[in-house]
Structure 1
Amino acid sequence: MKKLTSSIIGGIAGAVALNILHQAVKEFLHEAPRVDLVGEEALSKGMETAGIEPPTGDQLFAATMAADLLSNAVYYSLIGFGKKKQLPWIGAVSGMAAGVGALTLTKPLGLSDAPVNRKTATKIMTVAWYTFGGVVAGSIIKVLRKK
């Protein structure tokens, strides 16, 4: 499969896997990261800054999920620029970097960091979930390149 196509498909797969994991675990563990809340805050503030009335409730959640899936898919697609044999490792490192970014960039961006930094377990899960998404993306890209 062509490099660009496999990268896009892998990026989407990684983003979907990440979001399914986030949404599933938050239902069972109080310590689970709530990146969705950070995303809702970012989307609302951004829209308000642009003079647009942000959605609320389910519409805000849906818009945030769409933006999150798109941005993570684009980010994870970049893994495909690496060497084929190393793609899962590149995915792991890229995912880890995204997880660390989620922990450290909230405050500088003027967002609440409580949803991702409230407990040590929350921080570990945040990095682990993004790493998982990166490994999924890298692995899918590698498999698709074999075809």
Structure 2
Amino acid sequence: MNKVTNLIAGFAGAVALNILHESLKNKSSNVPRVDRLGEEALGHALDFFGIGGKRGKALYGPTLAGDLISNTIYYSLIGNGNVKNVFTRSIVSGLAAGMGAVTLPKSMGLNPEPVAKNNQVKVLTVAYYLVGALVTATMVKAFRK
């Protein structure tokens, strides 16, 4: 499978992840708020480069774009290798991304609460990333037929 189709499959997974998150983020206080984590991270990056001041809703669009780009690239790696193992790779990749989202924020100086405030939010965070990975694997399989 070539890089372009891997990127298309990865983009489908990234879009699925973001649709899931955007659809559910305001439904309960016990769902992940990956957007808040991303906005905080982008705010810190802007501060580092001396472009402070922007926070909250002003960072929503750029954070969403960055999330789509980074998840597209990450998920596109699922398409590398033998199609026979694509679902195994997607499960491992999805679980790794989700676990990273839950466990890394604190060590990166970010507030982990939006993705790890309780066990339900942690499990859902991991599940969101797993869904994106499985959508990617499904697209990879479809492209290879």
Residue 142 in structure 1 maps to residue 141 in structure 2 = yes
How far residue 57 of structure 1 moved from its aligned partner, in angstroms, is: 4.2
Task: Please say if residues 39 and 55 of structure 2, whose CA atoms lie closer than 8 Å, have aligned partners that are also in contact.
Answer: no
Deviation, 1:108, is 0.7
Aligned to 1:73: 72
Task: Give 1:29 deviation, angstroms.
Answer: 2.3
Query: Which residue of structure 1 lines up, in the alignment, with residue 37 of structure 2?
Result: 38
Matches of 1:57 and 1:106 in 2, distance apart?
18
Deviation of 1:89 (Å): 2.3
Mapped partners of 1:80, 1:93: distance in 2: 13
Percent identity (aligned):
45
TM-score by length of 1: 0.93
- Aligned residues of 2:39 and 2:56 also touching (Cα < 8 A): no
Flag as ranges the 4+ runs of structure 1 deviating above 2 A: 53-59
5 Å-filtered alignment, 1:22-33, equals: 22-33=21-32
Q: Compared with structure 1, are the counterparts of its residues 33 and 4 closer, same or farther at alpha carbon in structure 2 (3 Å cutoff)? A: same
Q: Which residue of 1 aligns with 2:88?
A: 89
Corresponding pairs, count: 145
Counterpart in 2 of 1:61?
Answer: 60
Whole-angstrom distance in 2 between the partners of 1:123 and 1:40 = 19
**Letter in structure 2 aligned against 1:22:** H
* Larger CA deviation: 100-109 vs 56-65: 56-65
8 Å CA contact 1:40, 1:61 repeated in 2: yes
AA aligned opposite 1:44? G
Q: How many Å apart are 1:119 and its aligned residue?
A: 1.1
Structure 1 residue 83 displacement after superposition:
1.3
Map of 1:122 onto structure 2: 121
